[in-house]
Structure formats: C-alpha cells, structure tokens
Amino acid sequence: MNYIPRKRRLGLVPSVTIFILLLTSTLPFVWILMTSLKSPADIVAWPPKFIFTPTFQNYLSILGRGTGRFAYQFRTFPFVKLLYNTMVVTAASVGGAITASALSAYALSRLRPRGTTAINFIILGTRMVPPIALVVPLFMLYNVVGWHDTLLGLILPFTALNIPMTTWMLEGFFQDLPKNLEDAALIDGCGVMGAFVRVILPLAAPGLVATAIFAFILSWNELTLPLALTMFEAPTLPVLASQVRTDEGILYGQLGAVAVLMNIPIVLFAGFGQRYLVSGLTGGSIKG
Amino acid sequence: MRFQGSNGFVHWLEVSRERYAYSMILPSMIILFIALLAPLMYSLVISLFDWPLMEPRRLFVGIRNYLVLLRREQVLRSLMITLRFVFFSVAFEMVLGVGIAMILNQQFKWRNIIRLAILLPMMASPAVVALSWRMILHADRGVLNYLVGLLGIDPQVWLGADWAFAAIVAVDVWRSTPFVILMILAGLQAIPEELLDAAQVDGASPWQTFIRVTVPLLRPVILVSLIFRTMFALRNFPIPWVLTGGGPLDRTNVIGIEIYRQGFFFYDMGMASALSWLLVILTVVLSVLYIRLTSREPL
C-alpha cells in the first residue's frame, strides 16, 4: 500500500455506523448462543430472559447423552452421524477440488498453453450454474447408478462446485509468484511436474491454505444438494438445520446448539482467511 | 529463454510444457463435465419430455413444458416474486453496502475486529442463518417481538402473510450487505490518494470529487458486486426454504422453491427441469445485460 495510514479519531457518523453494524451483525449470533445455553423453562419464559443460569444440557442432548424431551428431528437425523457425514463430504470435496484445481491453475496461470483464455472462460462460466438446477438431473442419474443417499453422490458435485472458485483463487496466487521461477529446476532436469511440486507448491502454500478455507466453507454450508439427494444415510448438518417446525419451540435450545456447533469452524476459519477474502469471493477478479 | 546451440532442447521443452499443461487441466475438466455440465445437459433433455417420476411414461413434447410454464399462474407468480426479491434485496444491499463502505474507508483502531464481525453473517451457513432468524422472528417466543414491544409496537407475525416477503428480503440483506461493503472497501483502497488530492487542489467539492473521481473509478467493483449479488439472489433457495418454506400463501415462493416443488412434491421432472433451465438462462441473460449496460467502454 502506497499511502500513509492516517489514524485519527472517528467522527460521530462513522462511530454510530460502526456501532450499529457491530450490533446487527453479532447480536443474532449472541442471542442464539444464549438460547442454546438455556434450560427449557428459561426458553419459554416471557419476557425473554437475558440473565439466566447457563446449562449444557442442550448440547448433551444433541450429542445423544441427554435426558428428557428430544426434538423429533434428531431421531431421524442423529447429530453425531450427520456431523461425521459433513466432515467426510467436506474433507473429500475440499481435498479433491484443491488437488484438481492446483494442477489446472498452475497450467493456466504459468504454462499458459494455447486456448488458455477459452478454458478459463469455461471454468469461470460454470460458477454461474445454480446448485438448485442440478438437483433434478442428479437425482434422476443417481436413481440409475444407485448413488442416491450416498456420501459419494455428494462428494462429486461438491468437488465440482468448488473447482471454479478454487481454480480462480489459485491462479491469482500462482501469478503473484516471480516469473521464470521454475526454469532453473526445469533446466536441471526436474520436469514440469517436478518443478511444480518442488518449487511452486511450497511457495504458494499460504494461498493453498486460504483457498482450502474458502472451499471448506462452501462445502460445509451447502444445503440444496443434500436436501434432495439424501434420505436417512447421507444427509449433512445443513439438512438438520433446515428441519425446523415452529411447534417445537420448547426445544429451541437444541436447535440453537446445532446452529452454534455449525458456526464454530466458520468463526475459526473466517478469522484465519479474512486477509484473502475479497479475492476469494470474486474468484480473483478483484485483488483486495 | 535462448541457449546457443540448444534450440532443439528449447523446442522439446515447449512441446512438453504444452502437453503437460493439457494433462494438468484434464482432471478439473473431467470433474466439471461429469458433475456439472453433463447433468445440466441431461436436464435439458428431461425438460423436453413429459416425465413424471412415479410413472413409466416418457413422452417427447418438445418445448411444450416451457410454453406451459410461461402460462401457468403459479409459475408466473413465482417468477414475479423472484424478480421482486432480487430487485429489493440487491438494491438495499448495494445502497447500504456502498454507503457503509464510504463511511468505513478510513484507518481506525478496531478495523480488523469489525471486519471479522461483519464477515460472520455472510460466512455462516444460509441454513443456520435462516434457522437462527426463524427463532428470533417467531411470533410468540421470538425475541424481536419483545424488542419492538419495548418501542411500543404491537407484536407482529413476522413470518405471516403480511411480513414474510419483507422478512426474506431483510434476512438476505443482513447476510449479504457485508459482501458489498468488503468489495467496495477493496475498490476504494485501490484508488490512488494522489487522484483525490489533485481533485481537491483543483477546487472540487467533496461531492464533486465523489461523483467525478471516486464513482467512475469504482465502476468495475460496483459492477462485479452487482453481478455476483444478482446471481446469488436469483438462485437463493436455502434462506426462504428454511425461513418460510415458500409460504404463507406462496408469498415467498421463489423460483428455487418452485423447482423443488415441481420435482419433489408434484414429481413432474419435465417441468422442474424446464424451470431449472429458465433459472440458468435468467442468470446468464442478467449478467450479460449488466455488463452491456454498465460498460460504455470495455472494462
């Protein structure tokens, strides 16, 4: 950055704006956290209780160690099983997308064979495909090949949905490395692949981590496909979060606990990845 | 790269590079083809058939599904709701996002913490966001009715017929305005300070500087944010699905929910596929339109 940062006291308007912004973006999370720590009696209390004795019974309940009433959706969708599904699908799709797109991003950003522009165009264009438009054809295809309600049936489209974003982010990171970096390795007889693995990948490691974080968030959050493509065996956590019935109000604590547990990795990773956020969100079209 | 007497080597290197490059691109292309492009093409085929899920009947009907679609009242209403949803949520997000980014565009103490705080709504799972807001907006137990009660306002059925549409717009604005803020902030920081100083020296008022210098320079960023927000607002399925399920009285029945209903409630795969393609076409047309309308010269 080529300007001198001027740290000075904020005026009234910016201070108020920031204050309101902070409140509106964090208070809903805080409220749900509080809800998840309340006993059933505190949850139905009116006016709502802002000060109460916290309890972990909601968390114990959804982890299968609680007593008393249990929200019906946890019988169909046991939290621990769905957590396992989500972790497997997320890990596999992030790993697959990063591996495939590191290769293609390297080729497209540094080797640049003929047709690079067209291939880039196709890859970015696939980002325009809405997941909901894939639901019907994948459902029909899976009925034929028997992938309905399987983890593999989620991993493949999740990987594909990640690839446009990861390829574009990684192309940006690879481009930022100095030119002709791998030439010395090539002349020493390393081969294109050797140069890529031994020279480029280690230098782009921070970029790989940032890209993986964004792919993780996409996969972790995805609701549309698992909602239609799974039944009882392979649903992921967002499916559980989507099963709300208002008459289950007393059990809001358990739903709140699900929301909190699903937010934990997001909070951790958001802090870690925020430096790369803008290039991640736009697939490298803007550097932030 | 030029080595004396080693042109053969350089040529070999170029050829081998090219061959390697294509084989490195191949895995990504195969995955994209199998999981995105082939299913999309398959859904184009399904959309040309009368294809009920539960019956063996598969009747080629050409573009009839599309024609029926555009005459069916429920679908037309769903389209109108979607366009209204896109218009209102994107308009609010852009105006709020640009405004807030302008205010935040200065160095101050808690900048990184604030960035992190406004990141959370847009990073959290849409299903979790909708679930959380559903609990907050609940008519009898929701904390929002308690808070508005403190201001002397009667409790409202926020997810009822009167407010449901406003509620899905509001939740989407809450979730996605940070995206616009961050994009515009990045764009603002790319504007060289000297340009703004020069305008000031030449006697431009702050407003003139904003209109004549800042906005033109920000145009590409604003355009990208607009395209992204429109694309994602059009396909928004999780938030209305979890928050209202498309109801009450279909008032929040956006196109994503209509696709899901046609496919998995009515088992009309032909119609659901035709609707999916309508969504894809809408997405592409709107993006192209934006680029055409807003760039007088190429970006």
Instruction: Give a yes or no: residue A50 inside a domain.
Output: yes
Contact B146, A45 (CB under 8 A): no
Do A151 and A179 share a domain, yes or no? yes
B100–A132 C-beta distance less than 8 A:
no
Do A59 and A153 share a domain, yes or no? no
**Is B242's Cβ below 8 Å from some Cβ in A?**
yes
Do A30 and A17 share a domain, yes or no? yes
Contact A154, A225 (CB under 8 A): yes
pLDDT at residue B199, as a whole number: 86
Chain A CB contacts of B146 under 8 Å are 46-48
Please tell me the distance from the alpha carbon of residue A67 to that of residue A70, in angstroms, as a whole number: 8
Chain B CB contacts of A263 under 8 Å are 120, 124-125, 128
Do A94 and A36 share a domain, yes or no? no
Residue B259, min C-alpha distance to chain A (Å): 8
Do A199 and A125 share a domain, yes or no? yes
Please tell me the distance from the alpha carbon of residue B224 to that of residue B180, in angstroms, as a whole number: 10
pLDDT at residue A288, as a whole number: 38
Q: Dihedral through CA A171, CA A172, CA A177, CA A181, nearest 10?
A: 20
pLDDT at residue B1, as a whole number: 45
Both tokens of B121, joined, read 């709504």
Residue B104, min C-alpha distance to chain A (Å): 7
- Mean pLDDT score, A75-95: 92
pLDDT at residue A140, as a whole number: 93
Q: Which residues of A75-95 are buried (b: 16+ CB within 10 A; e: fewer)?
A: eebbbeebbebbebbbebbbe
Instruction: Give a yes or no: residue A153 inside a domain.
Output: yes
Q: Is pLDDT above 90 for A210? A: no
Do A87 and A222 share a domain, yes or no? yes
Of residues B89 and A194, the one with the higher pLDDT is B89
Residue in chain A lying closest to B262 (CA)? A136
pLDDT at residue A277, as a whole number: 66
Instruction: Give a yes or no: residue A133 inside a domain.
Output: yes
Residue B163, min C-alpha distance to chain A (Å): 17
Residue type present at position B285: V
Instruction: Give a yes or no: residue A34 inside a domain.
Output: yes
- Mean pLDDT score, A212-237: 93
pLDDT at residue A47, as a whole number: 85
pLDDT at residue A197, as a whole number: 86
pTM for this structure? 0.88
What is residue B159's three-state secondary structure? coil
Instruction: Give a yes or no: residue A287 inside a domain.
Output: no
Nearest 5 degrees, angle CA A74-CA A80-CA A69? 30
Residue appearing with tokens 């209403």: B77
pLDDT at residue A70, as a whole number: 67
Residue B197, min C-alpha distance to chain A (Å): 12
pLDDT at residue B2, as a whole number: 45
B114–A21 C-beta distance less than 8 A:
yes
Instruction: Give a yes or no: residue A187 inside a domain.
Output: yes
What is residue A147's three-state secondary structure? coil
DSSP assignments along A40-97, one per residue: HHHHH-SSPPSS-----HHHHHHTT---S---THHHHS-HHHHHHHHHHHHHHHHHHH
Chain B CB contacts of A285 under 8 Å are 224
- Any idea where the domains of chain B sit in the sequence? 7-60, 72-294
Please tell me the distance from the alpha carbon of residue B237 to that of residue A226, in angstroms, as a whole number: 13
Do A96 and A221 share a domain, yes or no? yes
Q: Is pLDDT above 80 for A87? A: yes
pLDDT at residue A282, as a whole number: 55
What is residue B52's three-state secondary structure? strand
Q: Which residues lie closer than 8 Å to B193 by C-beta, 6 or more apart?
A: A2, A3
Boundary (domain end) residue, out of A70, A98, A113: A70
Residue A202 CB coordination number (10 Å): 9
**Which residues face A26 on adjacent strands?**
none
Residue in chain A lying closest to B21 (CA)? A107
pLDDT 10s digits, A17-57: 888 889 999 999 999 999 999 988 888 888 888 888 898 98
Structural domain range at position A200: 75-281
Do A103 and A231 share a domain, yes or no? yes
Q: How many domains does chain A have?
A: 2
pLDDT at residue A61, as a whole number: 85
Chain B CB contacts of A2 under 8 Å are 192-193
Both tokens of A151, joined, read 């983890």
Average pLDDT, whole number, for chain A? 85
Looking up residue A216, the CATH number of its domain turns out to be 1.10.3720.10
Instruction: Give a yes or no: residue A265 inside a domain.
Output: yes
A14–B135 C-beta distance less than 8 A:
no
pLDDT at residue A13, as a whole number: 82
- Mean pLDDT score, A153-165: 95
Confidence of residue A4 (pLDDT cuts 50, 70, 90): low
Boundary (domain end) residue, out of A48, A70, A92: A70
Q: Nearest CA to B89 among B1, B167, B196?
A: B167
Chain A CB contacts of B183 under 8 Å are 278, 281-282, 286, 288
Among A3, A17, A241, select the one facing B128 at the smallest CB separation.
Answer: A241
Residue B108, min C-alpha distance to chain A (Å): 5
Q: Which residues lie closer than 8 Å to A280 by C-beta, 6 or more apart?
A: A165, A169, A210, A211, A214, A273
- The residues of chain B scoring below 70 in pLDDT are 1-7, 9-10, 13, 107-108, 294-299
Do A29 and A134 share a domain, yes or no? no
Q: Is pLDDT above 60 for A246? A: no
Instruction: Give a yes or no: residue A7 inside a domain.
Output: no
Nearest 5 degrees, angle CA A53-CA A57-CA A63? 150
Do A114 and A127 share a domain, yes or no? yes
A160–B127 C-beta distance less than 8 A:
no
Chain A CB contacts of B186 under 8 Å are 278, 286-288
pLDDT 10s digits, A254-281: 889 999 999 999 988 877 777 676 655 5
Q: Which CATH class is domain B72-294?
A: mainly alpha
